[in-house]
Amino acid sequence: MSKTRGLAEVIVKFHHMLPDFTPHSGASSASQQQFLSLFLRSEREIFRYVAALVPNLADAEDIVQQTALALWAKFNAYDPARPFTPWACRFALNKTRQWLERRQRWQALLEQGLAEELAQRREELQPQLEARLKHLESCLGALPVAQRSLVQGYYYERASIDALAGRFSRTEAATYKMLQRIRHDLRLCLEGHHQAEVV
Amino acid sequence: MKLEYPSPEFDETIAAVCHGEADEARMRALNHLLRSNADARDEYLIRIELHSRLASEPDLFSEGADVSLEPLAAVSRAVPPAPWRLTEMDHRQSNPNHGSSERATRAMDRTWILALAACFILLAGIFSLLWLKRSEPRNGTTSKAVAMLARTVDARWVKQPTPPRAGVALEPGWFHLEAGLAQIVFYSGARVVIEGPTDLQLISSSEAVCPTGRLLAEVPEPARGFRIKTGQLNVVDLGTAFGLETDHGQTEVDVFKGEVELSAKAAAVQALREGTAALVVGAGAAQFMAVRPDAFSNMLEFQQRSLAAEALRYDQWRLKSAQLNQDPFLVVHFDFEGLSPSDSSLKNAAEKTALVQDAAIVGCEPAQGRWREKPALEFQSVNDRVRLAVPGAFQSLTLSTWVCLKGLDRQFNSLVMSDGFDPGTIHWLIRNDGVLGLTVFGTGSAEYQILASPPVIGVDDLGTWLHLAVVLDGKANEAVQYLNGVPVSRRTLKIRPPFRLNSVELGNWNARRDPGSEPSLIRNLSGSMDDFEMFSRALSQAEIRDLYSSGKAEP
């Protein structure tokens, strides 16, 4: 059976696919690999940073994708002596702002400085977020099978709501509602574990 | 609209924001609340963090849970799931106010897109996201299958609208076996025999729930982590064979080989070693004892019989294959025997002709073939291909192969395609709508004939071994396509022989022109190939049927 393909291998393979292309920007494949390895390490953190502002997953992913392109374009300005994630998050904030320009609804959520405030407060809250979220796996494990399977379908498989509604024989609205309830239960479970630790 | 904290409206608003459904008034009300109430703001951040953590930490979900539940099966179940997936931006950028249906936008492996992105800026200078997106067309064919029903003995299913037959793909859900035996092969590689009466719920390719019944699981190393839940226990397999018997009140686990981990609801995880069994009654502690192989004898015997039957079948095919290699009209035969990951070439096993040298393997990985011990070659990335040169012109020719498809990801999924569009050459492919397609090119630049079968390959055929053959008969002016030994398309040939393959690829296509120009030029196959033959004559229907019946996995 096939093994995990390393990033380097992917790149090498891709080069092979385009034998007629020759690099004419100054970038070397070494810097490209360096970028990819840094980005892939920070990617989840960047995603969560963006999602704190635009929680809709598909939208957050779009923004991260645009951020990745901007980061690569400006990678020669990156100082390897400094941490990558904060540098990347500044780009992510800019990309989020650009993305908002065309979306009035989301502007209404983040207007009057709330975007910046959320980003800053989230950083301050990091230890408290971590203290709770470290229990997420055990809280997930404690969910009844059907609920766990729905969470997995939505967050992991990224199945559409209408597919999940079909799978669980519910309406789409009921499926959304059920997801909301599961998150609520998880939230209570995290808090329960956390309080138990504190006491 | 005004929001209070805490309140049910606050909870609902957060959910609506997470799902992208909140309208502007609601968004504005939330903005006001979060700016004026620090507690609400902190609670909001914690809830959103929970939401984004679920979406970005695949490790939270059972190990090896299968990406192939969704159309991106192409990315392969062997590749670890992406932490999160990038969506098709071109589609949604044109619909900034997309609704829930578009949430289903198809996805792809993020590593790929990053590599693509970086390479393109690097290589091409001009970079268009749109191109990138379209270069990975995914069609709407979906498969949620997580396992396959391998074989059954006197199986009687209940509460099943259509009783599953051997060979079908199984989606997550309940299976109620009232009597008899059934072997289910999970896509993770775990093999489970159940003996009726047993209720089994498939959760993912590496997880099942068994509230009541008896089963025997055989879990090879790659499927390590396979788990079964019963009313009392979570059983996590660490690469082994174990039996399990459960009723509503109690669960017994017998480890015949290797080791498993048990965890009861309240208790700590316990390891259970080879030769030992554990019995858990109600919420009580586990009692340990020696294994009772006799309690699982039916299933052990069934498992062994099926192993022996498989080995026998493989041997029969080998014999047939050796005879075939003596056929004077056999030009190419790749049997993929003895294939190892380091191999970069494929040996042509045809012994009576010396027309074709060995072929080059580009990318690809060895995979399991029609039988457990039989290697096949897996194509999964856009680069994977087998290249060979077939000199000569043929009055007639026949191509035959076994494939196990993971998905039909491309508009055209290559089986065998000559480079470019040269006169007399052919493109043999599967369209994403399940049509077997054959294009034969004539001498003029605009002269070609497309021979298409009806859509014959459906979602249920994914993950199973299919025999495909095409016969170009220059004498009878006829082209016939076969699926599993049965003709599915028979057409008069308008293009005259001779036919050629020239420089040709299996599982991919070399367009021989600017690869950036046209996204649909990516035509790689997603799946495995086991056995490929090319004959320099038209095989008869009986001969194709014989190739099928001697090569199929089970008699």
The predicted-structure confidence for B340-371, as pLDDT tens digits, reads as follows 888 889 999 998 888 888 899 988 989 989 98
Model confidence band, residue B242 (pLDDT cutoffs 50, 70, 90): very high
pLDDT at residue A147 greater than cutoff 80 = yes
In 3-state terms, what secondary structure has residue A46?
helix
Out of A63-67, A90-94, B402-406, B425-429, pick the least confident. A63-67
By Cβ distance, the residue of B24, B49, B93 closest to A133 is B49
Instruction: For residues B398-427, give the mean pLDDT.
Output: 90
Helix (H) or strand (E) segment spanning residue B118: helix B110-124
Instruction: For residues B60-67, give the mean pLDDT.
Output: 49
Whether A86 and A123 have beta carbons less than 8 Å apart is answered as: no
Helix (H) or strand (E) segment spanning residue A196: helix A172-198
Residue with tokens 């012994």: B351
Q: For residue B63, what pLDDT is reported?
A: 43
- Tens of pLDDT, residue by residue over A89-144, are 999 999 999 999 889 999 999 999 999 999 999 999 999 999 999 999 889 988 88
How many angstroms separate the CA atoms of A10 and A8, rounded? Answer: 5
pLDDT at residue B123 greater than cutoff 60 = no
Put simply, the chain A residues between 34 and 63 with a CB less than 8 A from any chain B CB are 35-36, 39-40, 43-44, 47-48, 51-52, 55-62
Q: For residue B16, what pLDDT is reported?
A: 94
CB contact under 8 A, A69 and B127: yes
**Min Cα–Cα distance to chain A from B381, Å:** 9
How many angstroms separate the CA atoms of A94 and A89, rounded? Answer: 9
Put simply, the chain A residues between 65 and 94 with a CB less than 8 A from any chain B CB are 65, 68-69, 72-73
**Min Cα–Cα distance to chain B from A106, Å:** 7
Residue B322 has which token pair?
């050796």
Cα distances (Å, whole numbers) of residue B490 to B36, B276, B441, B522: 74, 60, 18, 28
CB contact under 8 A, B27 and A108: yes
pLDDT at residue B132 greater than cutoff 60 = no
This model of the complex carries an ipTM of 0.89
Q: For residue B142, what pLDDT is reported?
A: 43
Beta strands in B81-172 (DSSP E): 86-87, 107-108, 147-158, 169-170
Q: For residue B143, what pLDDT is reported?
A: 54
Average pLDDT, chain B: 80
Out of A16-25, B407-416, B464-473, pick the least confident. A16-25
pLDDT at residue B106 greater than cutoff 50 = no
Out of B19-23, B149-153, B383-387, B437-441, pick the least confident. B149-153
Mutate to test the interface with A, among B70, B121, B122 (most CBs of A within 10 A): B122
- Tens of pLDDT, residue by residue over B302-314, are 877 777 777 778 8
Out of B48-52, B79-83, B304-308, B465-469, pick the least confident. B79-83
Q: For residue A26, what pLDDT is reported?
A: 45
Q: For residue B298, what pLDDT is reported?
A: 85
In 3-state terms, what secondary structure has residue B497?
coil
Residue A110 has which token pair?
């983040």
Domains of chain A, CATH where assigned: 26-125 (1.10.1740), 134-199 (1.10.10.10)
How many angstroms separate the CA atoms of B143 and B440, rounded? Answer: 32
Out of B38-52, B147-161, B198-212, B533-547, pick the least confident. B147-161
Helix (H) or strand (E) segment spanning residue B184: strand B173-186
CB contact under 8 A, A61 and B12: no
Partners of A152 on chain B (C-beta within 8 Å) are: 61-62, 65, 204
Q: For residue A21, what pLDDT is reported?
A: 27
Q: For residue B62, what pLDDT is reported?
A: 54
Instruction: For residues A42-49, give the mean pLDDT.
Output: 92
Q: For residue B115, what pLDDT is reported?
A: 54
CB contact under 8 A, A140 and B27: no
Q: For residue A20, what pLDDT is reported?
A: 26
CB contact under 8 A, B222 and A1: yes
Give the sheet arrangement for strand B385-390, strand by strand. Answer: B345-346, B359-362, B385-390, B502-506, B412-418, B426-431, B435-441, B448-455
Q: For residue B209, what pLDDT is reported?
A: 92
CB contact under 8 A, A157 and B107: no
Residue B554 has which token pair?
């089970």
**Min Cα–Cα distance to chain B from A23, Å:** 4
**Min Cα–Cα distance to chain A from B496, Å:** 34
CB contact under 8 A, B50 and A152: no
CB contact under 8 A, A52 and B48: yes
Instruction: For residues B252-259, give the mean pLDDT.
Output: 90
Out of B172-186, B412-426, B506-520, B541-555, pick the least confident. B506-520
CB contact under 8 A, B54 and A10: no
**Min Cα–Cα distance to chain A from B508, Å:** 11
Cα angle B489, B491, B492 (rounded to 5 degrees) comes to 170
What HEC string does B326-395 produce?
CCCCEEEEECCCCCCCCCCEECCCCCCCCCCCCEEEECCEEEECCCCCCEEEEECCCCCEEEEEECCCEC
Instruction: For residues B457-485, give the mean pLDDT.
Output: 90
By Cβ distance, the residue of B28, B89, B363 closest to A65 is B89
Rounded to 10°, the helix A84-101/A57-73 angle is: 120
Q: For residue A28, what pLDDT is reported?
A: 57
Cα angle A113, A117, A121 (rounded to 5 degrees) comes to 175
Q: pLDDT exceeding 90 applies to what percent of chain B? A: 38
Q: For residue B536, what pLDDT is reported?
A: 94
Out of A40-54, A172-186, B102-116, pick the least confident. B102-116
The DSSP code for A153 is I
Those residues with Cβ within 8 angstroms of residue B118's Cβ, 6 or more apart along the chain or in another chain:
A11, A32, A35, A36, A72
Instruction: For residues A64-88, give the mean pLDDT.
Output: 88
In 3-state terms, what secondary structure has residue B531?
strand
**Min Cα–Cα distance to chain A from B35, Å:** 7
Cα distances (Å, whole numbers) of residue A171 to A163, A165, A168, B101: 10, 6, 9, 13
How many angstroms separate the CA atoms of A176 and B26, rounded? Answer: 17
Put simply, the chain A residues between 98 and 117 with a CB less than 8 A from any chain B CB are 102-106, 108-114, 117
For residues B458 and B547, which has the higher predicted lDDT (pLDDT)?
B547
CB contact under 8 A, B24 and A104: yes
Mutate to test the interface with B, among A2, A11, A18 (most CBs of B within 10 A): A2
pLDDT at residue B188 greater than cutoff 90 = no
Residue with tokens 């379908």: A153
Domains of chain B, CATH where assigned: 8-56 (no CATH), 67-134 (no CATH), 147-303 (2.60.120.1440), 325-551 (2.60.120.200)
What's the pTM value of the predicted model, to 2 decimals?
A: 0.46
